[in-house]
Structure 1
Amino acid sequence: MFRNGELIHEERIETDVEKIWDVYQQQILPDIRDYVDRKTAGRQDELPDLQPFFNKLEITVETSEPNERLNSREDLLSSLDGLHEDMYFVGTDYFKNYGYEKCGEITDAPGLILPRIRKVNGRGAYIKAAVFAQQSDQPEIKAEKAVITRLVDYDDLDVRLMGLYFENGKVIASVRVEGVPDELVSSYAALMDRGILSVGSEIDDVDAVEFCTESGKYRAVVSPATAPEKNMDIRDVKIAENELMGYEEYMDIIAQLKRVEGLKVYRTARSYKGRSIYAVEFRPDRRGYVSRTKRITEYPTELITSRHHANEVSSTNSAFMLIKALLTNDKYRELTEHMNLAVVPMENVDGAAIHYELQKENPHWKFHVARFNAIGKEFYYEHFKVHTIHTEAVSLRRLFMRLLPDVIVDDHGVPSHEWEQQFSGYTSPSFKGFWLPRSLLYGYFFHIAGDEYRSSLDLCHKMEDVIADAFLADEEITRENLMWARQFEKYAHGWMPKLFPASYYKNMITYWIPHVYDPTHRYPSVRYPWILSVDYVSEVADETAQGKYLYSCARAHLVHDLAVVDMLMKAGKVYDNCEELVDGSAAVKHVRKRPVIAQ
C-alpha cells in the first residue's frame, strides 16, 4: 500500500490454490516419502523391483476457484484443472527422482497418485491425503490357515511348445516344462482338465495339451468356451458415437460384437487390475480350419490400437464406428479377400476406468492421471518384455507375434485446450510442445533411416498422401484443421518454431521420426523393421472430449482409418516362389515380400 507515493505496508496474500500447493509439497509428499523409506528399508538398491510402493495416494481437494468453460472452441478458465495436472505430474516426478537418488534408477510406477478436486463455492483451502497400502507385494491366495504364494520364479521357468501330433483323430500339443516341480505341473494339468482354468477355453484348434517334464507326462483336455450364437446384426449394436465410454460401456459393446457374424472377438490380456483387453478381428467366410500362416503370407495385415492413453477418449468410439462401417458398407464386402485386420478398441482399460469416474465431476478436464496405467506406469516401455507386472502391455506383444502386421495404426490424442501447470513453469515440463492444440488431427511416422528400408519409407509417404487426400475431401475436417492451425501459428509456432514445430502437407501436419535399427527398442517398427513396414500414430485434440465435439474427433480417426484400409485393400503384392526337385525330394517356397506396393 502506498500513501502519497510512499510505501506504507507490504504483504503477500496467498491464494487458496497456493496454500493447497504448499501443503502438498511441504507435508504430503515428504510424509509419503517417509512411508516408502520405512517400507523399503534395507532393500533400496532394488527399488525398481519393489514397485508399486503403495496401491493409491488419494488427495482430496475442495476450494472455490475459477472453473468454467469459455465461449471459444474447447477452451477453459480453470486453475483447478491446472492444479490437478500439477499434483499428478509433480507427484510422479517426485518418485522418479526418489529412485534416482536412492539407487541410480528412476522409479516410475510408485502407485496411483489420484487427486480428487472439486470446486465448492465459498469454500476456503481444504486438502486431505490418504495412502492405501498394497495387500501383498506378490500374487497370493489366502486360505483360512495358509497363504499360498508363487512357488517358482519366472527366471527359473522354461515352457515351450515342442510340437503338434495326431492321436486317434485328435490334435495334441506337446509342451515341454522345466524348472517346475512335477507336483505343480500335475496339479495344473488336473485343474485344466477339469475346465477350472480359463486358459483351457482360450486355446484354439487343439484337443488336448500334454505337459512333459523330465520324469513324467501330464495330459489335460482342452475345454473350448461355448461360442456365442452369431445372431446379432451389427446395425443393432448400440454404439453411442458421441458419448464418452468407460470400461463397463466398452465391455457391453464387446459382448454384443461377439454375436456378430464375420468377427472373432478374443481377449488378448488382462490388465494390472485384472480387467480384460479384447481384439476384434475380421474373419473370412470359410468353413473349417483357416490357416493364419497362409493368410499372413497371402495378404497384408493391419493392426489398429486405440486408447493406449485412456484420457485420449475418441479412439474407442472410432474403433467401434470403424467396425460397423466395414460390416455395413458394400465397398468392404470382400475385405477379408484382400487383407487381414484386427482392432483393439481399448488398450488401457484400468486408465479408462479411472478416467470415467473422474470426468463425472469435471467433464472437460485433461485428466492425465489416466494417461498411464493403474500404478502410474507408461507401459509402452513394457510391450516386449516377456515378464512384467504391467500385464496390459502383453496385449500388443501377443497380437504382434500372432498377426505379424505390415501396418500398425495407433490412434492417440492430445489436449483440446491449453495444457497449463501454474506451479511448473506454466506449461508442462515434460510436454512443453503440447501447450496448445495444433490440428484436429495430425500424425507421426516412426521409421528406419537409411537405404536398407527405403521401400518401407516410400509406403509411409504414400500413406501420408492417402490420409491427407481423405481429409481434403472432407469439408468439416478441413475447416477444423485450418482453424486449429491458425491458432497454433499465431500463438505458438510463429513465435517459437523449434519448441512448437509444424510441417504442413496438404493442410495436414506430419512428423517424421527416424531411428537406427535397434533389436531392443520399444517401438515395433524399430525392433522388427523387416516385419512392420508402417508404424503410424495419429493424434486428435480429444482429451476428455464430450458430445458433438467427441463425435467430430472420432470421425477424424474414422476417416483416416478407412483411408488406410482402402490403400491396403488395393495394394500390390510381390511373391517369391520357388520349386526345387533334388534327389527325389521336392521343396516348394511361397513368400510374400514386404512392404506391399501402394497403388
Structure 2
Amino acid sequence: MSTIFEKSYQRSIDSLVTRFAKPAMQGATLKAWLFDDQKSRKAAEHTLQAAGVNATLRSAYKPLVHFFIEEIDCTALAAASIGYPMHEACAPNRFLLETYPLTKLVGDATVEFYATDAANSTYHVNLTYQDGHEESHQVFAPNRTHSDIDGQTLLSPTGWLNINHEGQESAERLETDLEQLFHDAIAAISAYDWGNTEPYFEELNVSAQLPFKDRALPYAEEVISLTEALHEDIYFSLLEFFQKKSGRPLGDRGLQPGQIVPEITYHAGAPSVRVSTRKLNTEDSTGPHQQLSTAQAPLFAAQILQELDTLGGEHYQAHARSGRIVHGRYIKGSDAPIMISGAQHANETSGVVGALRAAQQLITRKNAHFTISPLENPDGYELHRRLCAVNPKHMHHAARYTAMGDDLEYRSAEKLGEKAIRTKAQALTGAKLHVNLHGYPSHEWTRPLSGYIPRGFGMWTLPKGFFLVVRHQVAWTQQAEKLVDHVTRHLAAIDGLVQQNNAQIALFEKHAGETGFRIINGFPCLITADNAYSVPITLITEYPDETIYGENFIRGHTAQMETVLAAYQALQKHIKE
C-alpha cells in the first residue's frame, strides 16, 4: 500500500462552539447550517445557549425535509403549499428534487409544490393545520456556485452562518468539514502523477470516517446518509477527473483507470481521510447458501457457480482483471435461443438470482435453448460484498463497473475481458434476443458536493418502479414492440407489481416531474432503435434493487425471473425470424 494523502479535520460544529461560546458573544443570535446529524446539532445548540448565545443549528443537506422532520408537528398538518426556488446554475427541478420524499412524511396532509422563479435559495412554505390555523415560513437552503473539473458552473449545498450581535447582522458561507475533506481528497488525487497509461492503478482507495449518523426515514428504503452521499460523490468525481485526464468526454464508460474504492464509514470522532493505492483484491467472500426462490440477500459467488453447474449443458467462460472466471452455461435445444445475463453492473444483484431461477424453470422444457451468465462482473460483485459488509443499505456505485474501472458493455473487440462471455454466447446460439438483467437505486441518489443531481444520471435519482429498456436493430422494430407487449402483460399479472410501480411513479412525478417513459400495460418502457448492438433485440430490466433485502429482495428477483420467462415465451410465439 502506498499513501498519497492523509488528513484529519476539526469538526465544524466544534469550531462553531469554540468561536461563539465565549463571554464576548453573549446575547448574540446565531443561525447555522451544517451537515451534522440532528443529535450533534442539538447538543451544540444547548452548549451555545448555556453560554448565552441564542443558537439554531439546521441541516445544510435537504434543509426542507429536515425542517419538516425537526420543527413541524406533521401529525397536526392538513395541507402544505411549498414554493421552491430556481437557479440558472442548476436544473429547473433541482430544489424540487431536494424535497423528496416529503409528501410521504406528512401523514394525510396534502402537499402542493410550485416554482417561485426566485434564485434566492429559499423555500416559501405555507402550512394549514387541522385546527384551521395557518403559518408561513421561509426555509433557507444554503448553496454556493462553483466550477467543476470541466469548467461548468455548479450549485451545491454548503454551510452557512447568519449572525446578529450588538445590532450588527452578517451572513457568511461556512466551508464545512465535509466539504474540506472532499475537496482536499479530490485535489490530492488530481495533483498526483498517474502517468499516461491505463490502468493507472490496481485499487485506488479513499477511506474516510465521518461523524454523521445515517437517518432512516419512515418511508420505503429512504435514508438520509452523508456517508453514502460522500461515497457517490468521491467515486463519480474521480471518474470525471480520470476521464478528463485521458482526454475522454465526461461520462465516457470506456475509461479504464483501475478500481476506485471509496470506503466511507461512521465514526464519532474527528472526520478523517486517507487516500492510498493498493493491490487488487483477489479473494472471494464466503457465506451460507440460500434457497433460490426465497433468497433474501445477494448470493455468494460460490453458490452462483454451484447453481450454474447444476444446470448442466456446456460450460464456457471469460476472465476478469483479477483472474476471477466469468462462468456461463449453454443449454442446447431446438427452441429459438435466448441469451440471459446478470450483474454487468455488480451492485445490481436481484438479476443474479432472477437469472438462475429462470434457468431452473427453462431446463424443464423439452426443447429449452439458452445461455446464462448470471455474474458477468465478478470483481465488482466481490467489491460490492466487501462494501456491504460495513454499509449494507448503501447503493455502492463503486462496485458498478469492473476492476479495470470501465463498463464491460462498452469494450471493443481488442480487449474483451469479461465481455467475451457475451460474444461466446452469441457464437454458440446465434440468439436474436438478449435479456440483460439490471437494477437501479431503491432510494434517492445524490451528489451533494457536486451539484446535488448526479451528472449524467438525472433520470435515475429517484425510484420509479420496475421498468424495461429495449434496444433493437432498426429492422426489428415490430418484433421489439411485440416482445414488450407480451412481457408487460405477463408482468402485470404478478400480484402487487403494477401497484408498486404506480405508487413509485406518482411519487417520482410529484418530486421530479414527468418520467419521460411510455407506460405499457402499467410498466414504464423506453424503446429505441440502435444498430450498434450485435444481437437484434436486447431487453434490459431495471428493478429498484440497490440495496434491498428480505421480502423486497424476493419480490425483486421474482420480477426478474418472470421477465426472462415471459421473454422466452414471446420469442417462441411472436418474434421468430
Which TM-score band (shorter chain)?
Answer: 0.5 to 0.7
Q: How far did residue 11 of structure 1 move? A: 5.2
Cα separation, 1, equivalents of 2:510 and 2:248:
41
Q: Counterpart of 2:297? A: 244
Deviations 1:8-27 (A, max 9, x none): x655443331121122133x
Q: How far did residue 471 of structure 1 move? A: 2.1
Cα separation, 2, equivalents of 1:564 and 1:425:
39
Q: Is the 8 A contact 2:233 2:449 kept in 1?
A: yes
Secondary structure (helix, strand or coil) at the match of 1:361 reads coil
Q: Counterpart of 2:136? A: none
Secondary structure (helix, strand or coil) at the match of 2:240 reads helix
Does 1:254 find its partner at 2:293? no
Alpha-carbon distance change, 25 to 477 in structure 1, aligned in 2, over 3 angstroms:
same
Q: Counterpart of 2:407? A: 378
Deviations 1:301-345 (A, max 9, x none): 110111100011100111121123335xxxx53243xxx112111
Cα separation, 1, equivalents of 2:542 and 2:512:
18
Deviations 1:443-490 (A, max 9, x none): 1111234xxx1xx22211111111111122122212211111111121
Q: Is the 8 A contact 1:238 1:253 kept in 2?
A: no
Q: Counterpart of 2:83? A: none
Which residues in structure 2 correspond to 1:153-552 (within 5 Å)?
Answer: 238-239=291-292, 241-245=294-298, 249-259=300-310, 263-264=312-313, 266-283=315-332, 295=334, 299-327=335-363, 332-336=364-368, 340-382=369-411, 384-385=412-413, 387-388=414-415, 391-439=417-465, 441-449=466-474, 453=475, 456-493=476-513, 497=514, 500-515=515-530, 517=531, 521=532, 523-525=533-535, 532=536, 534-552=537-555
Cα separation, 2, equivalents of 1:544 and 1:555:
16
| Alignment-mate amino acid for residue 431 of structure 2 | P
Q: How far did residue 250 of structure 1 move? A: 2.9
Secondary structure (helix, strand or coil) at the match of 1:421 reads coil
Secondary structure (helix, strand or coil) at the match of 2:346 reads coil
Secondary structure (helix, strand or coil) at the match of 2:450 reads coil
Count of aligned residue pairs for this structure pair:
406
Alpha-carbon distance change, 245 to 472 in structure 1, aligned in 2, over 3 angstroms:
closer
| Alignment-mate amino acid for residue 481 of structure 1 | N
Alpha-carbon distance change, 471 to 31 in structure 1, aligned in 2, over 3 angstroms:
same
Q: Counterpart of 2:576? A: 596
Does 1:6 find its partner at 2:38? no
Cα separation, 1, equivalents of 2:544 and 2:376:
19
Q: For the pair shown, which has the larger CA radius of gyration, 1 or 2?
A: 1
Question: Please, which runs of 5 or more residues in structure 2 have no aligned partner?
Answer: 1-162, 282-288
Q: Of residues 179, 197, 204 in structure 2, which corresponds to 1:18?
A: 179
Q: How far did residue 52 of structure 1 move? A: 0.6
| Alignment-mate amino acid for residue 453 of structure 2 | T
Q: Of residues 82, 88, 92 in structure 1, which corresponds to 2:229?
A: 82
Alpha-carbon distance change, 107 to 270 in structure 1, aligned in 2, over 3 angstroms:
closer
Alpha-carbon distance change, 133 to 237 in structure 1, aligned in 2, over 3 angstroms:
closer
Identity %: 22
Q: How far did residue 110 of structure 1 move? A: 1.2
Alpha-carbon distance change, 460 to 30 in structure 1, aligned in 2, over 3 angstroms:
closer
Secondary structure (helix, strand or coil) at the match of 2:543 reads strand
Q: How far did residue 438 of structure 1 move? A: 1.2
Cα separation, 1, equivalents of 2:390 and 2:272:
17
Cα separation, 2, equivalents of 1:106 and 1:558:
28
| Alignment-mate amino acid for residue 524 of structure 1 | S
Does 1:128 find its partner at 2:290? no
| Alignment-mate amino acid for residue 252 of structure 1 | Q
Q: Is the 8 A contact 1:111 1:375 kept in 2?
A: yes
Cα separation, 1, equivalents of 2:443 and 2:491:
22
Cα separation, 1, equivalents of 2:443 and 2:543:
12
Secondary structure (helix, strand or coil) at the match of 1:273 reads coil
**TM-score, with normalisation over the residues of structure 2?**
0.66
Q: How far did residue 128 of structure 1 move? A: 0.9
Q: Is the 8 A contact 2:316 2:330 kept in 1?
A: no
Alpha-carbon distance change, 360 to 133 in structure 1, aligned in 2, over 3 angstroms:
closer
Question: Please, which runs of 5 or more residues in structure 1 have no aligned partner?
Answer: 41-46, 136-235, 285-294, 526-531, 572-594
Secondary structure (helix, strand or coil) at the match of 1:563 reads helix
Deviations 1:241-277 (A, max 9, x none): 433335xx233342354245xx215132111111111
| Alignment-mate amino acid for residue 455 of structure 2 | P
Alpha-carbon distance change, 333 to 545 in structure 1, aligned in 2, over 3 angstroms:
same
Alpha-carbon distance change, 489 to 550 in structure 1, aligned in 2, over 3 angstroms:
same
Secondary structure (helix, strand or coil) at the match of 2:392 reads coil
Cα separation, 1, equivalents of 2:440 and 2:292:
23
Q: Is the 8 A contact 2:294 2:554 kept in 1?
A: yes
Q: Is the 8 A contact 2:468 2:526 kept in 1?
A: yes
What do you get for the CA RMSD once the two structures are aligned? 2.5
**TM-score, with normalisation over the residues of structure 1?**
0.64
Cα separation, 2, equivalents of 1:435 and 1:368:
13
Secondary structure (helix, strand or coil) at the match of 1:426 reads coil
| Alignment-mate amino acid for residue 255 of structure 1 | Q
Q: Is the 8 A contact 1:241 1:321 kept in 2?
A: no
Deviations 1:92-139 (A, max 9, x none): 11011012199xx99821111111111112x2211111123799xxxx
Cα separation, 1, equivalents of 2:355 and 2:561:
7
| Alignment-mate amino acid for residue 23 of structure 1 | D
Q: Is the 8 A contact 1:95 1:107 kept in 2?
A: no
Q: Counterpart of 1:289? A: none
Q: Is the 8 A contact 1:16 1:63 kept in 2?
A: no
Q: Counterpart of 2:36? A: none
Q: Is the 8 A contact 2:439 2:546 kept in 1?
A: yes
Q: Is the 8 A contact 2:487 2:570 kept in 1?
A: no
Q: Is the 8 A contact 1:269 1:394 kept in 2?
A: yes
Deviations 1:42-67 (A, max 9, x none): xxxxx4xx211111111111111131
Cα separation, 2, equivalents of 1:134 and 1:416:
29
Alpha-carbon distance change, 237 to 81 in structure 1, aligned in 2, over 3 angstroms:
closer
Cα separation, 1, equivalents of 2:290 and 2:430:
30
Q: How far did residue 370 of structure 1 move? A: 0.9
Q: How far did residue 546 of structure 1 move? A: 1.9
